[in-house]
Amino acid sequence: MICARCDKPIRPNEPYDPVDKFSPSAGGMVLHVHRRLCKQPPTQTAPEDQTHRRIYR
């Protein structure tokens, strides 16, 4: 099983919690997360602004 929060494996005999994910357009699903709060990896939700980027040639 893979943790939906940190994307790392949940090992056998390691405690986890099921989490219901609802979807208005399709059937929901059950995700699994570590019972002990794990660190969520950083995510980028929008493209980087290219106007402030310096280009070195």
Q: 46 in a domain, yes or no?
A: no
What domain count does the chain have?
Answer: 1
Q: What is the pLDDT of residues 18-38, one digit of tens each?
A: 999 888 888 889 999 999 888
Q: Which domain, by its residues, includes 21?
A: 1-37
Mean pLDDT, residues 34-50: 77
Q: 29 in a domain, yes or no?
A: yes
Strands 29-34 and 16-21: antiparallel
Q: 49 in a domain, yes or no?
A: no
CA distances from 4 to 17, 29, 45 (A): 10, 12, 17
Among 36, 35, 3, 41, residue whose Cα is nearest residue 16: 35
Q: 19 in a domain, yes or no?
A: yes
Q: 52 in a domain, yes or no?
A: no
End-to-end CA distance of the chain: 46
pTM passes above 0.75: no
Q: 17 in a domain, yes or no?
A: yes
In this predicted model, which residue has the larger pLDDT, 7 or 44?
A: 7
Q: 23 in a domain, yes or no?
A: yes
Q: 4 in a domain, yes or no?
A: yes
